[in-house]
Every structure is written in C-alpha cells, then in structure tokens.
Amino acid sequence: MSMTGIILSLLAAYVLGSIPTAVWVGKWFYGVDVRNEGSGNAGATNTIRVLGVKAGIPVLLTDVFKGYLAVILVTKIMAWTGSADVPPLLEIAAGAAAVVGHTLPLFAGFRGGKGVATLLGVGLGLFPYAAWVAVAIFATVLIISKYVSLASITAGITFPLFVFFVFPAPHWSYNVLAVLVAIFLPFTHRKNIKRLITGTESKVNFSGNKKKK
C-alpha cells in the first residue's frame, strides 16, 4: 500500500470538504455571509433560510458532491501512486476528512456547517442503496414536520438499520461508520434538539426571502 497515496487521499478529501459553498455563494452573489444570519451555519439549510431556494439548491448539490467525490477519488489516487490496494478504512477516513473539512473549512476561517450534506455524499459513495433510503426518510419527515433538523436526525438514526439488515455492507468497518453516523448527527444537532423539545425550533420556509446586493 502506498503511504503517499494514503496521505494524498486524505488531503484531497479535506480540501474538497473545505470548499465553503454556502459562504462563497452568499458573498459572491448576494453580498451576505450566511454565517452571520439565520442559524449561523454555512450549509444548505441556512442558505435556503437566508437567501432562498435558488441559492440553496446549488449549495446542497455541491456539498453532497464534495463527500461523494472524496470517497471516489481514493481509488484513483491510490492507483496513480502505484497501489491497487484500497482498504475500506481508507475510504471511510477520506469520507471523514471531507466532513471535517466542511465543518472546519480551511478556506473559510474554520467556520463551516454541520456536515449533513457532505456526509450524505460520503454515504452515496459507500452505501448507495442505504443512503437513498435515508434520503427518502429525510424527505418524508421534512414534508410532514417542516423541521430540517428532525428530518436529518431521523434519517441518521435509522440509517444503520438499513445497512445492517437490508443492504449488508461488504466490510465490518462500514457497519461501524453507519453507527457513527447515527451518533454524529444527533450530536451536531444537540442545540436543535433542545429547541425541538421547547417548541422554539424554526420550520423551513422554502419560499424564503432572498437578500440581494
């Protein structure tokens, strides 16, 4: 196994994750730093809340793609450095690096988002079928409740069930990752959970008002 390939894979994943899509879209096209508005998170949900769907959808798709590409590139980088061996743990580590990059972005003062969309991209790269089921659960809960946080938490908590029992993973490390996802999402949404309990959590408004330059 190539140590150069491992290092490059992790660095590439972190740099990809560090692309602060929400921050750049807000500043370049609307003159707004979304981290200073709404929930203060540099993610698709807050972008939709602050700038509207037209700004939020490209942010969402790009953030998902960052995670997906971080995982897919591992095989390419390892082959380029002369190693055909791609251990599952390296793919998982690259996915984690992309999520860390999103939450602590190099290009935006280490102030990023919660990593949900990027984590979805990682899931699509590693567990495509289970990830799409999680997307369906997210959409269903969101449509019913209008709470993005509740939809994210529900999709994350149920995700391991589909990995374990419906779409078995090819390696034990994927099962561990699925459990970590179920822990990670509630942890990053702990403030949202408190607001859900007290009834003060904001519901998403997909027709949100856009702030213009």
pLDDT category at 102 given cuts 50, 70, 90 is very high
- Please tell me the distance from the alpha carbon of residue 150 to that of residue 65, in angstroms, as a whole number: 23
Note the pLDDT of residue 2.
82
Candidates 41, 54, 48; CA nearest to 146 is 48
pLDDT at 169 over 60: yes
Half-sphere exposure for 182 (CA within 13 Å, toward CB): 14
Q: For residue range 187-207, what is the model confidence (pLDDT) as tens digits?
A: 988 988 999 999 988 887 655
Q: For residue range 33-72, what is the model confidence (pLDDT) as tens digits?
A: 999 998 888 999 899 889 988 999 999 999 999 999 999 9
Query: What is the pLDDT averaged over residues 160-167?
Result: 94
Structure tokens given for 195: 């607001």
Between these two residues, 185 and 84, which has the higher pLDDT value? 185
Sign of the torsion angle spanned by Cα atoms 111, 56, 207, 137: negative
pLDDT category at 213 given cuts 50, 70, 90 is very low
Note the pLDDT of residue 207.
57
pLDDT category at 27 given cuts 50, 70, 90 is very high
- Please tell me the distance from the alpha carbon of residue 188 to that of residue 99, in angstroms, as a whole number: 12
Note the pLDDT of residue 87.
87
Candidates 70, 59, 58; CA nearest to 101 is 70
Burial of 37 from C-beta contacts in 10 A (0-12 / 13-18 / 19+)? middle
Q: Please answer whether residues 105 and 13 qualify as being in contact, where contact means their C-beta atoms are separated by less than 8 angstroms.
A: no
SS3 state at 142? helix
- Please tell me the distance from the alpha carbon of residue 153 to that of residue 141, in angstroms, as a whole number: 10
**What is the percent of the chain where pLDDT is above 70?**
95
pLDDT category at 209 given cuts 50, 70, 90 is low
pLDDT at 97 over 90: yes
Instruction: Please report, for the chain, the start and end positions of each structural domain, with discontinuous segments joined by +.
Output: 1-126, 127-203
pLDDT at 25 over 70: yes
- Please tell me the distance from the alpha carbon of residue 24 to that of residue 20, in angstroms, as a whole number: 6
Note the pLDDT of residue 39.
83
Sign of the torsion angle spanned by Cα atoms 187, 191, 196, 202: negative
CA angle 130, 21, 142 (to 5 degrees): 45
pLDDT at 211 over 70: no
